[in-house]
Chain A
Amino acid sequence: MSESGPVGALESAPATSGPPPAALVGVSKRFGATQALADVSLDLLPGEIHGLVGENGAGKSTVVKVLAGIHQPDSGAVVLDGAPALLHGPAHARSLGIAVVHQEPRLFPDLTVAENVFMGHTPTGGFGSINWREMRRSANRIFESLSVHIDSTAIVRGLSMADQQLIEIAKALSIEARVLVLDEPTASLSAHEVDRLFAIVRQTRDSGVAVLFVSHRLEEVFELCDRATVLRDGRHIITAPTSQLTAGDLVRYMVGRAVSLFPRSTARIGDMLLDVRGLTRVGAFRDITFSVRAGEIVGLAGLVGAGRTEVARVLFGLDRADAGEVLFDGKRVSFHSPSAALRAGIAYIPEDRHLDGLVAGFSIAENVTLPILPRLFPRLFIHTSRERGLAQGYVERLRIRSTGTDELVEALSGGNQQKVVIAKWLATNPRVLILDEPTRGVDIGAKVEVHRIISELAASGLGIVLISSDLPEVLAMSDRIMVLHEGRISAEIPRAEASEERVMFAATGQFAEDTSGVE
């Protein structure tokens, strides 16, 4: 399908009187090296649910945060009722009638439901004292209008995620919002709770509120939204009525990112190292089966929350599996702690942003040797020269740019910090290395470097599990791609057959119905 057709459909948007209550006009936003949004425009109309879809990192969250007043655009503007508005902060955005329900409820767990609903604009009586009765009554009125039963005097801690989500919505409605932004509100809800939420969202729309519904579940977008906008790499790709789109269209608009080329030399695939069979952890993932051979890079693709990190945590002994088995080197293993996994030869590099995985006040050398310190120096005393020598080897091998192994890691750039993290885990001499989003948040130069390192590690005979939300990265690096969707493997795609569309279809759960149509 060409892009001109659906773009032209913009004009068939519901007719409205007057300018839209909220719109983004040519908004750009940059974070360091990352262009999060580039010239994005979209309008939210009263009485309409507008879907916002895109891959992880496409810029959906940034749109939400610009509307919420958390981020100010570098250029372009938020336009309210036709007039450009400068949102100074979340409180200002709320006061202008923009209510945002964030992905994870942001409530005060030790306060009551009513206090949370009215936080920031508590009804007051004489001398500014809180009018508790009025507050409870108003909260009850809102819950009644939503036909839900939540005790407004209950303490929030201990309420279900769904109830907390509803409190967020009540909070939004308590300010008589004209614009309601929902950021992936269904991520932690059951099917029944999703139905109830949708009913409330429709009811809100019918009362004339403009709704922005951010989701990566395509079926929800089609079920709920009147129009949808697709973002890709921070750019606006298309806005069209959902009635004129198919799931296949959306997936094609979502993918197709510019592929930067990484050096990937295919290694000789060797013996079976890791064999995962029917691994299940209740509430996280089910029946995960895959294997990793020496020299092989297995990509774990999927959307955020699909269960990839959870699988890695079980393999590394941070969590326990409820069912299934893991064979390492042909022997059945079950790690009760990360140290046990490390001793066996499995290392897991968690998703790290900057210093999370490092000790800030330590030098490069001190960080690199930390996991193996007792093993390296069994007589308790640290030989600094040996320590530095070992670190120096990694500094050279991974090309960590620094003034020396004595430099504090906090003085390094993000990309070089990430390399120190990799060096730290390599020092444990693993045979299987699990990398979780190894290039998130690093600039393109460092990214290519990290890819080179991964590629060389595989060539040296390591088995590698690469968890990444970066589709081109997974496609370019992996020998095989396992796609997870809602805790299950929805596809296993060999390198030769892998395409962004196939991975995206599987990741959004559209695999079964739509593949035949794509080819």
Chain B
Amino acid sequence: MSSNVAVGISARRRAGALIGGFTRSRELTLAAVVIVLSALVATQAPNFLSLDNLQPVTTVAAIVAIAAVGEALVILTKNIDLSVESTIGIVAFVVGLILKDQALPVPAAWAVGIGLGLVLGMSNGVIVTVFRVPSIVATLGTLSIFRGLCFLVASGKEINLNDLPDGYTNAASQGFFGVPLFVILAVAIVAVAALVLRYTVVGRLFYAVGSNADAAATIGVRSRLTVFLAFALSGMLAGIAGVLWGINYGAIYANSASGQSLAVIAAVVVGGVSIAGGSGTVVGAALGALFLGLINNALLLLLLPQEWLQMIYGAVILFAVSTDALIQMRTQRAKARSRIR
């Protein structure tokens, strides 16, 4: 009798662990969805899976993914960074301007761009942690301020392909064995960020601060410093994304990358990072960027009526996030049940 009970309990535990494992590998689920969806789309639009199509799509997704890694760090700490698109835009423009004036060699111009992103991110961090402005308000402000700075720098000008060094944009279409260079770079950045989050003290603190700020504070975790760091890194990664943006498009305007903040945040959320902070991974955020990039592309290729695209795109985001919430709720109930026994 009692052994029967024990078997029942362990079986239920195992089932609970299985469901838990399934949700914890949200990344795997998303990867599977991407594959299945790609196969489905390919049957309707055969050129979807061609290299000519996938290379530019994944290159853009890689840029979004890099910014999404930074955004994920911020959202993990229970904050949000709305200003990434302005950072991407101003960095792309400033780098282009430096190259146009031939003021610095190319690598130095990139370094200035990434440094600018870091400085802008740090200023976000200061506003949030020192002046205690809620991050949604603070970055709503800097979203406009950084864009305004970009207009100021541009003063009506724009950067064309002719202004840039010869072959400057080639990097965007280069790759190894068909894998675009930007994708390789994004994978490297995601890998480093994932390892830092998983295996370093600082990474652990990102989760601790976002999950339970009070508990973190009573044990002397410097949560403000952690939040500052998240914003600084988000700015720096947006800076990298800005440099890549310029390389990819060749033509840079003062309003480049407008609207990308929402794409970046959508990628993070679809990738399973909790908007309430404290849970999720950068791998998920990057896969979210890939998923949304492919969806966008598929909707175009499927020759759906133009006016429907925006709505379907939005519905996909809602579906992805609400399904996840549903699974989370189920597993928590299952866990609660197994706890009560």
CB distance from B11 to the nearest CB of A (A): 13
- Known A361-B207, A362-B207: A411·B200 in contact at CB below 8 Å: no
CA distance A373 to B203 in the complex (A): 11
CB distance from B197 to the nearest CB of A (A): 11
Name A377's contact: one of B201, B218, B338 (CB within 8 Å).
Answer: B201
CB <8 Å contact, A411 and B335: yes
CB <8 Å contact, B212 and A373: no
**B131 / chain A contacts, CB cutoff of 8 Å:** none
CB <8 Å contact, A371 and B212: no
CB <8 Å contact, B218 and A357: yes
Name A380's contact: one of B16, B200, B338 (CB within 8 Å).
Answer: B200
CB <8 Å contact, A382 and B201: yes
Verify if B214 is at the interface (C-beta below 8 Å from A).
Answer: yes
CA distance A371 to B13 in the complex (A): 30
Verify if B204 is at the interface (C-beta below 8 Å from A).
Answer: yes
User: Interface with B: A74-82, A109-117, A203-211, A334-342, which one?
Assistant: A334-342
Task: Give the residues from 192 to 250 in chain B that come closer than 8 angstroms, CB to CB, to chain A.
Answer: 199-202, 204-205, 207-208, 211-212, 214-221
Task: Give the residues from 241 to 276 in chain A that come closer than 8 angstroms, CB to CB, to chain B.
Answer: none
- Known A337-B220, A381-B199, A411-B339: A360·B204 in contact at CB below 8 Å: no
Indicate the member of A356, A373, A424 with the most B CB atoms within 10 Å.
Answer: A373
A-B contact count (CB 8 A): 74
CB <8 Å contact, B208 and A382: no
**A339 / chain B contacts, CB cutoff of 8 Å:** 219-220
CB distance from B297 to the nearest CB of A (A): 34
CB distance from A121 to the nearest CB of B (A): 34
CB distance from B7 to the nearest CB of A (A): 15
Name B215's contact: one of A318, A356, A373 (CB within 8 Å).
Answer: A356
CB <8 Å contact, A362 and B208: yes
Task: Give the residues from 399 to 440 in chain A that come closer than 8 angstroms, CB to CB, to chain B.
Answer: 403, 408, 410-413, 424
- Known A373-B204, A411-B339: A338·B212 in contact at CB below 8 Å: no
For the complex, count residues of A whose C-beta is within 8 A of B: 33
- Known A358-B215, A366-B204, A373-B205: A384·B335 in contact at CB below 8 Å: no
CA distance A411 to B17 in the complex (A): 10
Verify if A370 is at the interface (C-beta below 8 Å from B).
Answer: yes
CB <8 Å contact, A360 and B220: no
Closest to A378 in B: B201
CB <8 Å contact, A361 and B211: yes
Verify if B278 is at the interface (C-beta below 8 Å from A).
Answer: yes
- Known A337-B220, A357-B218, A359-B278: A382·B200 in contact at CB below 8 Å: yes
CA distance A359 to B214 in the complex (A): 10
CB distance from B186 to the nearest CB of A (A): 24
B residues in contact (CB < 8 Å) with A: 13, 16-17, 20, 199-202, 204-205, 207-208, 211-212, 214-221, 278-279, 335, 338-339
A-B contact pairs, 6 of them (CB 8 A): A348-B218, A357-B218, A359-B216, A382-B199, A384-B199, A403-B13
A residues in contact (CB < 8 Å) with B: 318, 337-340, 342, 348, 350, 355-362, 366, 370-371, 373-374, 377, 380-382, 384, 403, 408, 410-413, 424
